[in-house]
Amino acid sequence: MYDEEKSNDGAQKQSLANKFSKLFSELEDCDKNEYKQKIEEIIALMEEMDEEELYSTFTKEIFNKMDEMIEEEKLSMENALFLLIHIGRFISLKDIWNDGFRNSLLKARFEKMVAEEDEKKEGNDEKLIADLGECMLLFGGSTSMEFDSVCVPYLLKVALNKEENEETQKEVETALMALSCINICYKVEKDLYLNEIKEIIQYHEKHHNLTRLAYQSAWGFLIILSLNDQKTIEVIVDELHFEREAARELDELMQSVDWKKKEEEEVKEKGKNEELVLKRWLQNFDNFFVPCGALNKECSGIVESIVGVLRVSRDNHSEIGKRCILSFEAAAEERAVKVDALLKSGAVDAVLEGIQQPTLKHYYMWNCLIFFKDASMLLDEIGGEMEDAKRKELKREMFEKMEEEGYEDIVIWLYHYICPSIFGDFRLVENFPDYFVYL
């Protein structure tokens, strides 16, 4: 039976790959009207593919072939960009790693085109630069600081369009998605972009002109700007009230997602998209905790909101649950939250509850253990005579919780009998046994 299922799965994947190859080859002979239909068929086909299939489909060879089609005038640049932006949106929304484009001749072509348009200064094609920027960013982030400095102003100009028709909303959404993909390794000229992205966020809060995905992406870009920048993080926390806005968005998204559906079951498009937007918010928090911890900004409100997501997602949406645990881990690791806040917010309770699941997955267990390790380091940092009583009280509270609920034995068993065999040597801080659990 296993061999038969494996064979059927392989046949289905081969069928999807063949369908894609056929559709892609037909692009050369399409007229303008047929082209849009073909792209819709390609996007629908991508929805059927899993991550492995998508990764193996969008290879360097595919992008090189597209470059060849452009060179031989079998595919117009307008149609190529139209197709790539749609595929890039899909890959970015699904958070799929794709290195085929990064190493392709097509990427080199686009970089050259951006440089040539920039050299014109006056009379350059602003839409072309914005479209090229979207393609480059959606397929894997910035390529250089110089590229950012050319493309970002044009993408912000698109994103600042306040018309509320459907076509404009889609363009704004795509531009903001692309901006949120900027590689955080490159230094971004924060002062040039801070006012524009603030305006976009504040205008939406008054007029609700953005889609949920666009609004999340706007915050994603702003959080990238905040890395290692005290002024920007203070704007986010104190002026734009990120914790309040993020908590409200998470609450509304939680009401929209069908939590009773199994992960493998089909869901309505709206529900599926909102589930993906929720995941993107959780990823935003990881980056948000970095500058907050460095500047000693307390993020307990965010952690409390994530607790709610973890609890509703636990039964049928393990991937979202995993993201929640990773966010707790990041908050503790970056010192963006204190141990007592982890207790009061319910984060510790929520993590411990998950450990008792009969269908516990290995990666979930691993993330839980990492979270406890990072949280124990926070306890270790509470020092001085004035803080000694507080540290002892937190230790006592955790020990009692573990003993009452029977969690201590469960975690000991997970660590000693499962973790080493799967993950090898799991090194903890020297005095970890004094805190939380006797691992």
Taking 70 as the threshold, does the pLDDT of residue 407 lie above it? no
Task: Please compute Rg for the chain using Cα positions.
Answer: 24
Phi-psi region of 436 (alpha: psi -120 to 50; beta: other; left: phi over 0): left
Q: How many CB atoms lie within 10 A of CB 167?
A: 8
pLDDT surpasses 90 at 134: yes
pLDDT at 421 over 60: no
Which of the two residues, 359 and 6, has the higher pLDDT score?
359
Return mean pLDDT, the chain.
80
Distance CA 437, CA 439 (A): 6
**Residue 247 or residue 12, greater confidence:** 247
Whole-prediction pTM: 0.85
The amino acid at 391: R
Which two three-digit tokens encode residue 279?
């995941």
Check residue 215 and report its DSSP letter. Answer: H
In the numeric block, the tokens 């001749």 are attached to 105
**DSSP-derived secondary structure for 298-355:** --HHHHHHHHHHHHHHTTT-HHHHHHHHHHHHHHHHTT-S-HHHHHHTTHHHHHHHHH
pLDDT of residue 213 exceeding 90, the answer is yes
pLDDT at residue 160, rounded to an integer = 96
Q: What is the pLDDT of residue 366?
A: 72
Write out pLDDT tens, residues 303-327: 999 999 999 998 888 889 889 999 9
Q: Which tokens is 59 given?
A: 């290879």
**Confidence bin at 17 (pLDDT 50/70/90):** confident
First to last CA, the chain: 41
Per-residue confidence band for 335, with pLDDT thresholds at 50, 70 and 90: confident
The pLDDT-based confidence of 439 (bands split at 50, 70, 90) is very low
Nearest Cα residue to 377 out of 439, 332, 416, 423: 332
Is the pLDDT at 423 greater than 50, yes or no? Answer: no
For residue 186, name the pLDDT band (cuts at 50, 70, 90).
Answer: low
Model confidence at 210: pLDDT above 60 = yes
Which pLDDT score is estimated for 249? 95
360-396 burial code (b ≥16 CB/10 A, e <16):
beeebbbbbbbbbbbbbbbbbebeeeeeeeebeebbe
Q: Is 66 exposed, middle or buried (0-12, 13-18, 19+ CB in 10 A)?
A: buried
